[in-house]
Amino acid sequence: MRRLLLVVPLAIFLGVALFLYRGLYLNPTELPSALIGKPFPAFALPSLDQPGRTLTHDDLKGKPALVNVWATWCPSCRAEHPVLNQLKQMGVTIHGVNYKDQRAPAQKWLRELHNPYQLNIEDAKGSLGLDLGVYGAPETFFIDAQGIIRHKFVGTIDERVWREQLAPLYQQLVDEAKL
């Protein structure tokens, strides 16, 4: 019994060490979104492609889609853009939220780098971004056919992230919509 007591400090040390070791490899910038499982926030904002048209959250319903928050002032968005183009070619529906940006450079960006977005919401003041809990572009929301937010990815989507993490999630939403 006495002997066993001597092992207690070692056991506590190992427990704490394991806990902290795991912490070394967690990404602290990845925050769980408060919006998972909730409907996409209501909005009525102009379309970037057709400035006369007003888009609302009803326009996003109908089929599962990615809603990508982007801006021309965001260097990671430029890195992510070719991947979004590829995804569009693979048949993934992507909508855009042009977050706190200006119309002219944003339209120029889409002309030059191709436009992977089906709908592009012009959120010049960042009000939709605020409702979405956006804290830095790029961020990508996964919504299902009913317009419910199912997943959020913060950061640049590259081919590996898509293949390993995001493609299965998107596929799941597509399969659900078929039922």
Partner 1 sequence: MKRLLSSAILGLALLGSAQAAIDTYEFASEAERQRYRSLVEELRCPKCQNQNIADSDAPIAMDLRAEIYRMLEEGKDDQQIIEFLVARYGDFVLYKPPVTARTLLLWYGPAALLVGGFVLLGVIVVRRRGKRPSAQNGLSADEQQRLAALLNQASMDKKDR
Pick from 45, 104, 112: nearest CA to 85: 112
User: Out of 34, 42, 44, 90, which residue is the one contacting partner 1 (CB under 8 A)?
Assistant: 34
Is residue 31 near partner 1 by the rule CB under 8 A?
yes
Is residue 27 near partner 1 by the rule CB under 8 A?
no
Is the separation of the CB atoms in 121 and 47 below 8 Å? Answer: yes
CA atoms within 13 A on the CB side of 112: 8
81: its two tokens: 């853009």
What does the angle CA 107 – CA 64 – CA 26 come to, to the nearest 5 degrees? 85
Kindly tell me which of 13 and 135 has the beta carbon lying closer to partner 1: 135
Minimum distance between the CB of residue 38 and partner 1, rounded to whole angstroms? 9
Contacting partner 1 within 35-64 (CB under 8 A): 35
Q: What residue type is assigned to position 89 of the chain?
A: Q
Is residue 133 near partner 1 by the rule CB under 8 A?
yes
The stretch near partner 1 (CB under 8 A) out of 17-25, 29-37, 44-52, 61-69 is 29-37
39: its two tokens: 């409907």
Is the separation of the CB atoms in 45 and 121 below 8 Å? Answer: yes
Kindly tell me which of 53 and 125 has the beta carbon lying closer to partner 1: 125
Minimum distance between the CB of residue 122 and partner 1, rounded to whole angstroms? 17
104: its two tokens: 């002219």
User: Out of 131, 145, 169, 172, which residue is the one contacting partner 1 (CB under 8 A)?
Assistant: 131
Residues engaged in binding partner 1 (CB under 8 A) = 28-29, 31-35, 100, 126, 130-136
